[in-house]
């Protein structure tokens, strides 16, 4: 008599699905970092056309979502002392420390998803990331 263990079967099934779901995301992460793309028989012009088409679709589906955000934190720059010798005398100058305020600017929250979309579009078009 064969014993059926539904929990272990479910666990194996879930693990297989997780692997199938995560694999494309891992490939996209690597593809979005690629600097160069290749397609057998294609030219640089072909790539520029394909990339422009994919970017246009990406901007249509994921338009800029600009948010005013803090880009860097404020911090204190320490003072500096610079010394040199001139005519046998040592001279020094001192620049006092000062506070550098935080920087704010617009950040496009759809930038990363759009980059992933463009990479997927290029892959679907037969291009492969190189490097």
The token duo for 90 is: 């040592």
Question: Does residue 55 belong to any structural domain of this protein?
Answer: yes
Q: From the CA atom positions of the chain, what is the Rg in Å?
A: 27
Per-block average pLDDT, block size 10, for the chain (131 residues)? Answer: 46 50 46 75 96 97 97 95 93 95 97 97 96 79
Q: Please check whether residue 26 lies inside any domain of the structure.
A: yes
Whether residue 92 lies inside any domain: the answer is no
H runs (alpha helix) in 33-130? 44-61, 111-124
Q: What single-letter DSSP state applies at residue 87?
A: T
Q: What is the pTM of this model?
A: 0.56
Sequence length of the chain is 131
Range of the domain at 29: 12-67+102-131
């Amino acid at each position: 008599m064969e014993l059926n263990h539904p929990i272990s079967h479910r666990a194996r099934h879930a693990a297989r699905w997780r692997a199938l779901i995560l694999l494309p995301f891992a490939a996209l992460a690597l593809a979005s970092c690629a600097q160069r793309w290749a397609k057998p028989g294609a030219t640089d012009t072909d790539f520029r056309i394909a990339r422009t088409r994919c970017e246009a679709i990406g901007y249509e589906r994921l338009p800029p979502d600009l948010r005013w955000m803090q880009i860097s934190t404020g911090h204190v720059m320490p003072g500096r002392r610079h010394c040199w010798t001139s005519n046998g005398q040592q001279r020094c100058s001192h620049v006092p420390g000062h506070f550098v305020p935080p920087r704010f600017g617009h950040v496009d929250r759809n930038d990363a998803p759009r980059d992933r979309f463009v990479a997927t579009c290029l892959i679907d078009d037969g291009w492969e990331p190189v490097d």
